Homo-oligomer: A and B are copies of this chain.
Amino acid sequence: MAVRLPRGFRMGAVRAGIKPSGKPDLALLASGLPALWAYAATQNRAAAPSVHRGRRLYAEGRPLRAVVVNAGNANCATGERGFRDDERLAELAAFRLGLSPEEVLTASTGVIGVPLPVEKVEKALPQLELGPFADPFAEAILTTDLAVKVAEREVEGARLVGVAKGSGMIHPNMATMLAFLVTDARVPQEVLRERWKGIVDRTFNQVTVDGDTSTNDLAVVLANGAYGEVPLGPFFAALEEVARELARKIARDGEGATKLMTVRVYGAATEEEARRAARAVAASPLWKSALYGNDPNWGRILAALGNSGARFDPFRVEIRLQGIPLYRGGALPFDREKASQAMRAEEVVVEADLKEGPFQAEAWGCDLTEGYVRINALYTT
């Protein structure tokens, strides 16, 4: 596919032997210029050392020059040693690039509770070659994802490229979402940081595969300014599009998924309620199972909306599935067979109009399948 990086960024990957599969598992992102950055990470209380370290660097506010990522080991729940190993990972990457460790962000994904084999990282890093394409990095950060996740946009000459990994599983582990976006646009850091939170809330935080939040989740954007200034309006629109495209790819590649679910909620009283309502539908195991079975079971959508905490009047709310109105303050007559046929698609769109206010939101998920259970139960013992 070969997605070219923005000016001044290079990426590369190498096989360090952390993944049992022997696939590339150590990835490096470097910026020739100091990059301003914005960051969002998991709220999980058992967050990994890399998350704690990232938060500290973020608070200190200095520019970044690199991100080092290993896949196959989350370096989480590994005690005091985990923090030393994480710092060592930064030091090794810094040494490789001639930087200070404080200029290097770390990220890890994979098995938890097992010490990170830093000696393998040390041995492999000199072999890692950097180049102008996102692809080797995008592949190396995957765990059991089925598809590489890359998105790109241009904004008046500046470029934006994002790579992500979604829900993968290595025993014993949980799903982890990582996203790295880079741009050569010049953007004031305060603006980038302020806008990034909203973008992450509307995109990555609206993805739900199984309701479990990982200890290692991370979404970061780096802007090195190599291209120069661009109008901020189009820039942030493009940044959100890249994030949204990656979020959709993560949802579509959820464990065991056979289709993408997009939920659009309109007419909410607040933006937060719109987001919660959309997420509740995307996360409902009952509705996700019905989605898998191509069952236009709007009762489960209504029940999920009712559980979300978003305000609405069941006598006014409207529900549409693949554009077909199913409920408007009460059950509507519809052709069940036709609706079921319409659900046999790569993407199924659920729309709900709460009729309480002007706010809307999207969320993305996937169907709940026997494959999900198998991946997470039968294939790990």
Contacts and interface: CB of A to CB of B under 8 A. Distances in A.
Interface string A281-296: 0011110011111111
A373 to B, nearest CB: 5
A127 B331 CA distance: 32
Interface in A284-315: 284-286, 289-300, 302-307, 310-312, 314-315
Interface residues of A, number: 71
A284 B212 contact: yes
A175 interface: yes
Q: How many copies of the polypeptide does the oligomer hold?
A: 2
Contacts of A330: 77-79, 113
Nearest to A210: B285
Interface stretch (A30-38, A40-48, A224-232): A40-48
A213 interface: yes
Interface string A145-172: 0000000000000000000000000011
A51 to B, nearest CB: 11
Contacts of A210: 285-286
A215 interface: yes
A375 B294 CA distance: 13
Interface in A350-381: 367-370, 372-381
A321 to B, nearest CB: 12
A286 B285 CA distance: 13
A114 interface: yes
Contact of A314 (B77, B286, B300, B370): B77
A340 interface: yes
A112 interface: yes
Interface of A: 43-47, 76-80, 111-114, 171-175, 210-215, 283-286, 289-300, 302-307, 310-312, 314-315, 327, 329-331, 340, 367-370, 372-381
